[in-house]
Amino acid sequence: MNCQEANNIPITGFLVSKGIHPDKPQGNMFWYRSPLRNEDTASFKVDRLKNVWFDYGMQTGGHLIDLVCKMYNVSVSGALLVISGLSPADPSLSFFKKPDPSQHESSIKILNVQQLQNKALIQYLISRKVNVSIASKFVEEVHYSAYPGSYFSIGFKNDKGGYELRNGFKTKNFPSGFKGACSPKSITTIPGQNRSAVNVFEGFMDLLSALTYFKTDRPSCDVVVLNGVGLVKNFLQVMGSYSKINLFLDNDPAGKKTAAMIMELRPDAFNRSESIYPGFKDFNGFICS
């Protein structure tokens, strides 16, 4: 996709795809509460006929690419990636199809959630070299049913109320221990002391490993756990609100491609995995060594 093709896409259609709807359509003029700032009265206008926008509060406007650059704080090349949809159907983004061993997550039904106390689950964290007292502030003990029985795991809640599930019980299907999830899938956002910066992790075990490594249970800045690289598109929706981005993703092909894509959108993002654990697959592998 080039700039001309991108700017031919209706701005109103792009905004709808992001869940942004007009307050008051007036003929060919659609009025919105600005997607670039907080406001109570709609002062952001889209001319559907000319396919241009203007924000009266900021006294700026332009075409779709100009809008996406400001919404996501990215360059023109980054805006083109955003506009392209970042869809799993896009062959250039096929790494979003990284297999998830928990494809049966829809069959999992949560029975009970409680404070982490099961000795087997605690021992699993210890075997992964994770500080249990730190971990207990971020994870829970989840009991659930899944055909053909009932089980329990360490649970890490996401922003939509679903859980990432892990335990150390080795089976034929899970030789390294169970790794699954219950719907709905989403990222997990944890507020930190500095709300203008964000640390991005691929999975919650890496977050717990980082907290253990840095000996703290209070994140210095916001934390986003992707719960799988396939959900990076959820992070892109909020990426523009951060002035500093630290990446703690896996040093495998999918993790590296995800980091490269984010850094294409935000050249100021810093890939911490290359400096802290360059010889290891992930943060947990590093502390386990």
Give the chain's mean pLDDT. 86
**Contact yes or no for 203/164 (Cβ under 8 A):** yes
The verdict on residue 289 lying in a domain is: no
The verdict on residue 149 lying in a domain is: yes
Q: Are residues 70 and 49 in the same domain?
A: yes
Q: For residue 120, give the 3-state DSSP assignment.
A: helix
Instruction: Name which of 23-27, 85-89, 166-170, 181-185 the model is least confident about.
Output: 85-89
pLDDT tier at 85 (50, 70, 90 boundaries)?
Answer: low
Q: Are residues 248 and 217 in the same domain?
A: yes
Instruction: Name which of 103-117, 152-166, 239-253 the model is least confident about.
Output: 103-117
Q: Are residues 196 and 119 in the same domain?
A: no
CATH code of the domain containing 213: 3.40.1360.10
pLDDT exceeds cutoff 80 at 64: yes
Instruction: Single out the residue in 85, 118, 150 at which a domain terminates.
Output: 85
For residues 145 and 161, the model is more confident at 161
Burial class (CB in 10 A: 0-12, 13-18, 19+), 218: exposed
Q: Are residues 7 and 74 in the same domain?
A: yes
Instruction: Single out the residue in 144, 164, 182 at which a domain terminates.
Output: 182
Q: Are residues 31 and 109 in the same domain?
A: no
The verdict on residue 99 lying in a domain is: no
Instruction: Tell me the percentage of the chain whose pLDDT exceeds 70.
Output: 91
pLDDT single digits (tens) 227-271: 999 899 889 988 989 999 999 999 999 999 999 999 988 999 999
pLDDT for the residue numbered 286? 97
Q: Are residues 164 and 193 in the same domain?
A: no
pLDDT exceeds cutoff 80 at 171: no
Q: Are residues 167 and 249 in the same domain?
A: no
Q: Are residues 192 and 267 in the same domain?
A: yes
pLDDT single digits (tens) 192-226: 999 999 999 999 999 999 999 999 999 999 999 99
Instruction: Single out the residue in 130, 148, 182 at which a domain terminates.
Output: 182
Helix H, strand E, coil C: the string for 191-240 is: CCCEEEEEEEECCHHHHHHHHHHHCCCCCCEEEEECCCHHHHHHHHCCHH
Rounded CA separation 135/121 (Å)? 11
pLDDT for the residue numbered 62? 94
The verdict on residue 100 lying in a domain is: no
* Arithmetic mean of pLDDT, 35-58: 89
pTM, two decimal places: 0.66
pLDDT for the residue numbered 98? 34
Q: For residue 103, give the 3-state DSSP assignment.
A: coil
| Strand order from edge to edge, sheet including 140-146 | 109-114, 140-146, 149-157, 163-166, 179-182
The verdict on residue 202 lying in a domain is: yes
DSSP-derived pairing of the beta strands 194-201 and 221-225: parallel
Q: Are residues 173 and 111 in the same domain?
A: yes
Q: Are residues 277 and 210 in the same domain?
A: yes
The verdict on residue 263 lying in a domain is: yes
The verdict on residue 125 lying in a domain is: yes
pLDDT for the residue numbered 104? 42
Count the domains in the chain. 3
The verdict on residue 95 lying in a domain is: no
**Contact yes or no for 210/236 (Cβ under 8 A):** no
Residue ranges making up the domain that contains 264: 188-284
pLDDT for the residue numbered 91? 30
Rounded CA separation 264/81 (Å)? 9
